[in-house]
Amino acid sequence: MVTIENDIERDISVGESVQSLGGLSQNISNFVRMLPLVGAALLVALVIAGIGYVLGSLRWFWRRVAPNTFLSDLIASAVRFAFVASGIVIALQMLGAGALLGAVLGGAGIIGIALGFAMRDTIENYVASIMLSVRQPFRANDWVVIDQYEGRVIRLTSRATILMTLDGNHLRIPNSTVFKAVILNYTRNPQRRFDFDLGIDGEADPNAARQLGVDALGKLGFVLDDPAPAARLENVGDSNIVIKFLGWIDQDRTDWHKARSQAIPAVKAALEAAGFALPEPIFRLRFDSSAPLALRDVTDKVVPAETRPSIAAPAIGETSERTAPDDEISEMVERERREAPEADKDLLDSGRPVE
């Protein structure tokens, strides 16, 4: 058994209460005396922040310094933020609140790390926009393939690259995807090669067929002489010899698909006119002798080759349609750039070198 004696006494006299009120009065007096210093610190912070806003509003200067409007606005915002933060730091130092400043900065750092993980994709896309605006990987109206997406470039914004597909549809690709993607640009080099395969009979002379096909390609007006058309043996199959024919065109004057579509029948007609057969695949069938086969005589229904109607092949060098490129998509892109409200936010600059 332990006995506890309570000797705590509470002084509830008026004098003791008045003494506590005197301490509160002293704190209020100290705060009042500190008001001029608080006002001076606040004035210094406002002056520094005002200088930052004035410097940030000099858009003509930042647009001279930065390569495009996106970066100029980004630099101006960074300058304003730096001056505002400096004003707050100096004001807190004047008030002797350095410990409070350290605690605030530490908390802000933790919050910044958390936000960085939460907004990783957004930040990645934003940084990619900055890098693309500096690198300028393509021009407006360039015909590009970005990964599996194909079309003409309308504009590059701070969030996405906008294409117009060859079907006339708008396609928005996040800049983070564009920055990491493999980009194929058909417009950068106007010369482009087309190729196709044709098979001749296995007993025919492949070198003669190659030369004949090259001569046929050379007679087509849209095929360039330099680089010259060519042909090479691609494969020797079971029933034919496969030859790959190659030709070059100028994309500024000739559509690639139209050129290839006209080159194939021209070379085919030249080979057939010279007596080269373009055989169909031959298959060898093996039947089990123990299994009966129900066969019908259909020889009377077969139309001999000499009685089949023939279609006159065009003369070598003659074309049945124009091969000039279609400008519908290009004109739609130019109209979109002129009329769209985002035209002034395009990060593509024709005055800067392309990567």
Count of beta carbons in the 10 Å neighbourhood of residue 20: 9
Q: At what angle do helices 206-218 and 256-273 cross, to 10 degrees?
A: 130
Which residue intervals of the chain bear CATH 3.30.70.100? 191-279
The answer on pLDDT for 12 being more than 70 is no
Phi, psi of 246 (to 5 degrees): -130, 140
Tokens 């695949």, residue?
281
230-250 pLDDT, tens digit per residue, is 999 988 877 789 999 999 999
**Global confidence as pTM:** 0.67
Cβ neighbors of 230 (< 8 A, separation 6 or more) are 214, 245, 246, 247
Class of 128-188+330-345 per CATH?
A: mainly beta
126-171 pLDDT, tens digit per residue, is 889 888 988 889 999 999 999 889 999 999 988 899 999 999 899 9
183-197 pLDDT, tens digit per residue, is 999 999 999 999 999
Q: What is the mean pLDDT of residues 104-124?
A: 73
The answer on pLDDT for 1 being more than 70 is no
Is the CB of residue 242 less than 8 Å from the CB of residue 206?
no
Q: What CATH number matches the domain at 191-279, 3.30.450.40, 3.40.1280.10, 3.20.20.70, 3.30.70.100? A: 3.30.70.100
Q: What is the mean pLDDT of residues 274-279?
A: 86
The model's confidence at residue 213, banded by pLDDT at 50, 70 and 90, is: very high
Which residue intervals of the chain bear CATH 2.30.30.60? 128-188+330-345
Please give the angle made by the CA atoms of 181, 184 and 185, to the nearest 5 degrees. 130
At 102, the amino acid letter reads G
| Beta bridge pairs of residue 153 | 163
The answer on pLDDT for 119 being more than 80 is no
The candidate with the shortest Cα–Cα distance to 75, out of 120, 67, 161, is 67
Looking at per-residue confidence, does 48 or 238 come out higher?
A: 48
Q: What torsion do the CA atoms of 316, 321, 323, 328 make, to the nearest 10 degrees?
A: -170
pLDDT the model gives residue 347: 84
3-state class of 171 per DSSP? strand
The answer on pLDDT for 306 being more than 60 is no
